[in-house]
Amino acid sequence: MNSLLSNSLPWIVGVVAVAAVGFALWRTFGQQDSAPQRDDYLHALELWIEGELEDAAALLHKVVHDDPQAVEPFLHLGNLLRLQGDAERAAVLHRGLTVRPDLTLAQKIVVGLSLAEDLNALERWDESGQVLDTLLRNATNRSRYWRARFYQRHGQGNSPEAARTLKGAAKHAPRRDHEWFANAYASYQLDRALRHALDGENGEARARLKDVKNQPGAESRAALVTAILAAMENDAATAVTVASEQLLHSPEELGIFLPLLQEVLLGTGQYARTIPILERACQAENAPASLWIDLAMLYEKLDQREKALRLLQTKAGRPRFSPDAAAPYLRILMADVPDTDVARTWDMLSMPAAPDGWSCTKCSHRAEHVRWYCPSCGSFDSYLAQQNSGEVG
């Protein structure tokens, strides 16, 4: 869970930028004593903004050594240490700041939030919760509080409370972040619904779908979960109906669902029922190339090669229609002509195989099925289908 730290980076860099500007103004118009320390502190913030984290940390170490009574340098050094993977030392620094008697209320809040983030990174969820409890009266108007509380509750394994945290944040956080928290809530609940559906916990899956029933933008993913529920219950008729009526205008979700639908229908000898769905879906401009190949391969199963080739001819010249995308269908064609030079060359090639699970684009966490919340780094909507390299022949 240490990679959760990356979600704090944009906020922290923003704070650093504001601190640098404020410090420059104070240096220009304020007192002129301790000028070398002020110069070093400002330079450290500038290095941080520029991405030179190691140099920034080294300079901040010097600043706090030269001026152990300073507050902000200690605070920022702790945040930087956490981002560098040393949350243990960050927590020591921030906990030391919490006992200083001269902190303003604003400083107490910021220091407390930093300590809670340290403890989250260390997976010390109960301690983080205790720190956040002390901030409950004064920090609930800050998005940073709600994010830290969400990660803390999710880390405890308390998914219902984590979801309620996101829902509450969508009402109480600063207005500029309301949409982000609302979308995060929908993604989190849909992710839970999908996990329940795949685990056969249908009642829980439907309850989570009810949670996001009126959430803007959740319709296609909710329909995907509904279709998967039907497929897992071997209700082929409902699965096909949902796919054809609700997923046709969402090719991405349809592409996620069709392999599972075909598996269910294949078991009942009804896989050809997906052909009308695919034919309509492939007409959409944003349909992924994988749908074209899936349809061509279904035509092959029904001995309708000419129909498959005509379909692929209509996609000629499109950037997404690449050898990589077409590899599964090309494999079938090459099997028919094993003694040709083209087929022998094909057997020498190494090209991406069919999608093999899903991967988070933020931290590379792998999952067998799509996810809308990454349990490793805490990112939302970050998964893409993962291609493995493999022999095409």
pLDDT digits (tens, 9 = 90+) for 34-81: 555 677 888 878 877 888 888 888 988 888 888 888 888 889 999 999
End-to-end CA distance of the chain: 40
pLDDT bin (cut points 50, 70, 90) of residue 232 is: confident
pLDDT bin (cut points 50, 70, 90) of residue 298 is: confident
Yes or no: say if 78 and 118 are a contact pair by the CB < 8 Å rule. Answer: yes
pLDDT digits (tens, 9 = 90+) for 138-193: 999 999 999 999 999 999 999 999 999 999 998 899 999 999 999 999 999 999 99
What was the pLDDT predicted at 37?
66
Q: What is the mean pLDDT of the chain?
A: 82
Inter-helix orientation angle 219-232/178-198, to 10° = 10
What was the pLDDT predicted at 18?
38
pLDDT at residue 206 above 60?
Answer: yes
Task: Give me the phi and psi of 366, to 5 degrees please.
Answer: -100, 145
Homologous superfamily of domain range 2-157: Tetratricopeptide repeat domain (1.25.40.10)
**Angle subtended at Cα 184 by Cα 179 and Cα 189, rounded to the nearest 5 degrees:** 130
Q: Spell out the domain ranges in the chain.
A: 2-157, 328-393
Yes or no: say if 122 and 88 are a contact pair by the CB < 8 Å rule. Answer: yes
- The model carries a pTM of 0.74
Question: The dihedral of CA 380, 147, 115, 53: what is its sign?
Answer: positive
**DSSP per position, 311-322:** HHHTTTT-TT--
**Bridge partners, residue 351, by sequence:** 390
Give helix then strand counts, H and E, for the chain: 20, 3
